[in-house]
């Protein structure tokens, strides 16, 4: 059985006023790939439910799976994703200019994966960089790139192990994975130089709701953050959100810049604007109940459309794709799923039993329809497939199901 615990109090404000608004049913771990179809179909499942905190507005899962199960060996590699690498390059240039980073600056990246981000900072600025990530397989990749790596979870112990105070801490696409957000923030506060900056990026709750991005829900994503609860958390630990910026990566995210309170840096009006917008629109459970109904419709539409087609395959054996396919009950309707991660080759997608294959399959056994399961990177995936010779149609499942005829695709 998969080790987990029930979650009964908000991880930000500790309130017990948590109301369920979405139940996606019994689901497998998103990266629980198996060696056979039978194992994939019979895999252990847990309830995937989302709760709303009536006090601070944080959305969060009803259970917490033991992090060691999900993260000690992690199959997603950031560097394989070309749009994300470009995003990292832009981020390095932006922060270098804004905070006057130089070769004497010390930076850590929390859950830096295979060092896609740190590589850009090292090459753009020449920073002294350190990756902290619990996945031992990814740590070895970073070491092979000559990037120092501590293979452990971020927290107070990791903070105490640092050799010096830090000028820049980055945490991209990891904060939503954290159960004890208080220790996470406190460890950042302890580690930051008095003039240092913490930069957190995460998929934004507003986009999650407005674009019906329910496939972002899986057991790794414990929380679905907006700025208001994060601001409450920072204030409690004498940190201050200085700037908030919407960024397009991952279907709609935010970049949040945080510093020590009272250290001369002032928060700008982007923070109050974001909080005001959130409190006006999404501080009541009614909005989330509407979202839940919309999700139900999206799942039914996807299931109906896919089951009405023949010769269909998928692209990207992603966590979000796993949520989508399992929610819709898709199994044999997809002949295979293409992915470019070496560790995923010839494995089977958890819950659905669909085989994961290489890009070469497009040449030897092309489908008529290709579902872009990582729809947030649809443009890059479509370009790759067209350049590889694929001549069929593409399906974009979210936010609105649509089929792109070959003539509609511009690369």
pLDDT in tens, 120-156: 999 888 889 999 999 989 888 998 889 999 999 999 9
In a domain, 174, yes or no: yes
Cα distance between residue 292 and residue 198, in whole Å: 33
Asked if the structure places residue 374 within a domain, the reply is no
Q: Which of 42, 27, 38, 33 is nearest to 348 (CA)?
A: 33
Q: What percent of the chain has pLDDT over 90?
A: 88
Q: Is residue 313 part of a domain?
A: no
In the chain, the number of structural domains is 1
Identify the pLDDT of residue 45.
98
- Residue at 31 is within a domain: no
Report the C-alpha gap between 234 and 189 in whole angstroms: 9
In a domain, 26, yes or no: no
Report yes or no: 12 and 181 within 8 Å, Cβ to Cβ: yes
Q: How far apart are CA 104 and CA 126, in angstroms?
A: 8
The reply to whether 369 falls in a domain is no
Question: Residue 151 domain-assigned?
Answer: yes
Q: What is the CATH number of the domain that holds 92?
A: 3.40.50.150
50 within some domain: no
State yes or no: pLDDT of 360 exceeds 60.
yes
State the pLDDT at residue 407.
60
> pLDDT value at position 309?
97
Range of the domain at 178: 70-285
Within 13 Å and on the Cβ side, how many CA atoms surround 145?
A: 23
Q: Could you read off the pLDDT of 380-404 as tens digits, one per residue? A: 999 999 999 999 999 999 999 999 9
Are 101 and 126 contacting, i.e. CB atoms less than 8 angstroms apart? no
């Amino acid at each position: 059985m998969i080790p987990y615990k029930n979650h009964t109090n908000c991880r930000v404000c500790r309130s017990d006023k948590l109301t369920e608004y979405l139940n996606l049913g019994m689901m497998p771990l998103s990266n629980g790939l198996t060696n056979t179809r039978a194992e994939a179909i019979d895999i252990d499942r847990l309830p995937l439910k989302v709760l709303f905190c009536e006090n601070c507005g944080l959305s969060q899962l009803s259970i917490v799976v033991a992090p060691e199960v999900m993260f000690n060996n992690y199959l997603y590699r950031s560097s394989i994703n070309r749009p994300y690498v470009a995003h990292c390059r832009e981020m390095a240039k932006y922060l270098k200019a804004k905070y006057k980073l130089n070769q004497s600056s010390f930076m850590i990246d929390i859950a830096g994966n295979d060092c896609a981000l740190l590589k850009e900072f090292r090459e753009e600025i020449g920073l002294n960089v350190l990756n902290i990530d619990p996945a031992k397989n990814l740590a070895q990749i970073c070491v092979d790139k000559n990037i120092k790596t501590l293979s452990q979870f971020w927290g107070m112990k990791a903070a105490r192990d640092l050799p010096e105070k830090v000028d820049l801490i980055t945490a991209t696409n990891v904060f939503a994975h954290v159960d004890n957000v208080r220790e996470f923030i406190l460890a950042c506060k302890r580690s930051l130089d008095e003039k240092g900056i913490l930069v957190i990026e995460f998929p934004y709750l507003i986009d999650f709701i407005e674009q019906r991005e329910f496939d972002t829900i899986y057991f790794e994503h414990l929380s679905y953050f907006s700025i208001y609860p994060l601001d409450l958390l920072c204030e409690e630990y004498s940190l201050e959100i200085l700037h908030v910026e919407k960024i397009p990566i991952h279907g709609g995210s935010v970049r949040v810049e945080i510093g020590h309170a009272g250290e001369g840096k002032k928060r700008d009006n982007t923070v109050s604007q974001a909080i005001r917008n959130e409190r006006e629109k999404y501080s009541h459970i009614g909005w989330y109940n509407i979202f839940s109904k919309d999700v139900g419709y999206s799942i039914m539409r996807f299931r109906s459309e896919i089951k009405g087609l023949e010769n269909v395959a998928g692209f990207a054996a992603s966590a979000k794709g796993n949520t989508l396919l399992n929610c819709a009950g898709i199994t044999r309707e997809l002949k295979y799923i293409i992915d470019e991660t070496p560790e995923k080759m010839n494995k089977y997608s958890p819950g659905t039993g669909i085989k994961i294959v290489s890009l070469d399959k497009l040449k030897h056994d092309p489908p008529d329809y290709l579902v872009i399961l990582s729809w947030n990177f649809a443009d890059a995936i479509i370009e790759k497939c067209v350049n590889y010779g694929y001549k069929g149609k593409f399906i974009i499942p979210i936010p609105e199901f649509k089929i792109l005829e070959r003539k509609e695709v511009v690369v």
